[in-house]
């Protein structure tokens, strides 16, 4: 994904406050109903949101995202909440509870996503346990259903240090956000699942160590080359030799459960450098994968470029809205 922070000063202030809370046990805000969370069953239809919208503070109305069942607010960074995540903090506890109630009634999980292309936490030598405790405290404090780890520290992955950091981070995160009560997902780029390119083992290593703690993977099948993952065969069946064994079914064949593999695609050509597939064609790809026993779902970067019309088309041949 791409991070476009809007409120650096307020993010710094929020980060300071979260750090002050990290040494104590955080208590969920609001009504008791917000305490009841459960892992969501596949398929997952996920929309990320980072775009500023004039006159809109916080998440959209549920009617604007019909067909999605997960909505992710940007960004929790190492300096705190920015953009849509920051907007969430500016709402009153009553308003947040009301929105969460509406989302729950519509079957939509509301989460935050962390890091993005702005943060390189491993390369920057952030302690994974300390950072995980700060993030989990923030999630609990603001009553969200969970967190997506949009880790994009490419130098760390290329150098072989990312895997151990992610394993420690995920383990620490789950101590505060237990399985079955909160959702924890990761959003790796598809090439990180290749079994041969990364000295530390890539995401296959992460999955083997803590895959039981990760609910699913919102895989970025984009920004990996002009012709990568742009056809149904290249996306679903067999990837190119540039990123071997990283098409959807190849990742599954290498040991990641199919229900945990969510296909990620940009909403428009302007939402990524490359990797775009038109919604009607993507619907065909999704149908082909489902016919092979896959049930993971689809994610998009980003709302509002992808709304109800986009996801309705993408689901039309597999899980019609």
Burial tier of 303 (Cβ tally within 10 Å: 0-12, 13-18, 19+) = buried
Render pLDDT for 217-266 as a digit per residue (tens, 0 to 9). 999 999 999 999 999 999 999 999 999 999 999 999 999 999 999 999 99
Q: In this structure, what token pair is assigned to residue 226?
A: 């002009």
Q: How far is CA 27 from CA 22, 143, 156, 177, in A?
A: 12, 9, 34, 12
Query: CATH says 8-315 is which class?
Result: alpha beta
> By percentage, how much of the chain surpasses pLDDT 90?
85
Mean pLDDT value across residues 30-46: 67
Three-point CA angle 100, 104, 107, nearest 5°: 140
Render pLDDT for 163-207 as a digit per residue (tens, 0 to 9). 999 999 999 999 999 999 999 999 999 999 999 899 999 999 999
> How would DSSP label each residue in 100-150?
HHHHHHTT-EEEEEEEETT--TTTTT--HHHHHHHHHHHHHHTT-SEEEEE
Render pLDDT for 73-109 as a digit per residue (tens, 0 to 9). 999 999 999 999 999 999 999 999 999 999 999 999 9
pTM: 0.90
Domain ranges of the chain: 8-315
């Amino acid at each position: 994904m791409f991070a476009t922070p809007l409120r650096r000063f307020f993010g710094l202030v929020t980060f300071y406050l979260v750090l002050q809370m990290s040494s104590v046990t955080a208590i969920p805000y609001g009504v008791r109903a917000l305490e009841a969370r459960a892992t969501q069953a596949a398929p997952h239809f996920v929309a990320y949101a980072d775009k500023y919208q004039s006159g809109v503070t916080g998440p959209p109305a549920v009617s604007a995202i019909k067909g999605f069942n997960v909505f992710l607010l940007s960004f929790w960074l190492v300096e705190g909440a920015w953009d849509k995540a920051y907007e969430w903090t500016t709402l009153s506890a009553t308003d947040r509870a009301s929105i969460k109630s509406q989302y729950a009634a519509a079957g939509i999980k509301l989460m935050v996503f962390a890091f993005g292309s702005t943060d390189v936490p491993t390369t920057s030598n952030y302690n994974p346990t300390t950072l995980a405790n700060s993030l989990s405290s923030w999630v609990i404090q603001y009553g969200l259903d969970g967190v997506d780890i949009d880790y994009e520290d490419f130098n760390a992955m290329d150098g072989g240090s990312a895997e151990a950091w992610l394993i420690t981070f995920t383990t620490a995160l789950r101590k505060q956000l237990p399985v079955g009560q909160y959702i924890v997902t990761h959003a790796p780029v598809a090439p990180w699942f290749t079994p041969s390119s990364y000295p530390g083992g890539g995401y296959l290593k992460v999955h083997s160590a803590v895959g039981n703690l990760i609910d699913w993977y919102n895989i970025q099948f984009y920004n990996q080359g002009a012709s990568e993952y742009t056809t149904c065969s290249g996306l679903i069946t067999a990837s190119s030799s540039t990123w071997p064994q990283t098409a959807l079914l190849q990742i599954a064949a290498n040991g990641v459960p199919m229900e945990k593999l969510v296909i990620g695609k940009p909403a428009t050509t302007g939402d990524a450098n490359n990797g775009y597939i038109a919604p009607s064609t993507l619907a065909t790809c999704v149908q082909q994968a489902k016919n092979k026993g896959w049930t993971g779902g689809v994610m998009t970067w980003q709302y509002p470029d992808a709304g109800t019309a986009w996801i309705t088309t993408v689901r039309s041949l597999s899980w019609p809205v």
